[in-house]
Each structure stands twice: as C-alpha cells, then as structure tokens.
Amino acid sequence: MIKQSASLHPIRPSLVRYLGCLVYDCLLLMAVLFFATGAAVLLNQGKAFGSGNPFFIAFLFFVSYLFYGWFWTHGGQTLGMQSWKIKLFSLDGKNITWRQAALRFVAGLISLLPLGLGLFWRGLGKDLQSWPDMASKTELRRVD
C-alpha cells in the first residue's frame, strides 16, 4: 500500500491510534491533576475541599484546559500525541490559537456526554472529523 503525501491527502490516525493517544493523555492528565490538587490543598492550609465544591471543580477544569491548550498551541502535540505520532493542525494552515484550543476542549467535553459519540463521530462523518475538530476548525493527522 502506497502512502500519499500528508500535504496532498492527510492520513488520518486509525481508531486504535486515536484511542491509544486518548488513554495515554488521560493518564498524564491524572498525574497533573494529582499535583494540582496537592498544590490547592496546600494553599487551602492543608484542608480538604468539600464534595462538589464548584470552585475546586472549576480549578481542575481550568488546569485540564491549560494542559491540553499549552501542548496544542506549542507544537500541536500532547505527549500522548507525540508517542502515537498524531499531530493537530489548523485548517487554515496556521498554528493552533488559544481560542481554537478552548473550542476544542469544550467540544471535547461535550462530545463525551452522549457516551463519547462526538469523539467517535470521526468514523461516521464523511470528512473523518470529530465534534472537537469541527468546532475548532482543526484536524488530526498521522505524522510518521
């Protein structure tokens, strides 16, 4: 099978590669959130946060956004994406902006609500794009 040039016809990551990347990044994010929680507890004079504390939950979402947003805007790859040879590209050919990262992050959260349908949409749609791709005008490509 002949691979076509990524500039002419981008090669989309397979579902296995895509899921492997998601799992890898989720494990990394859990480690980041662990340390962020430790820092927050230290700033809270060592006291734990109450169950469902909206400020703490918002803090964890913000840390998660910074994790993904920083990687996406600085090279287009999280560590999981680097390992699985996937890169995020803007459809306009420019670097990913923080606005696009925010749209992609929020759309990703919404995509998880209907049992992950928005993420698996990439296998159903004609352009092989997930809801986060469509919302942020970005696309994932394999970069072997």
Q: What is the mean pLDDT of each run of 10 residues along the chain (144 residues)?
A: 48 87 96 96 89 92 98 96 95 93 94 79 72 91 89
The confidence score (pLDDT) of residue 6 equals 43
Name the residue among 4, 11, 2 with its Cα closest to residue 140: 11
Q: In which element (H, E) is residue 3 found?
A: none
Q: Where do the structural domains in the chain lie, given as residue ranges?
A: 15-142
Pair 131, 111: CB distance under 8 Å = yes
The confidence score (pLDDT) of residue 32 equals 98
Distance CA 48, CA 40 (A): 9
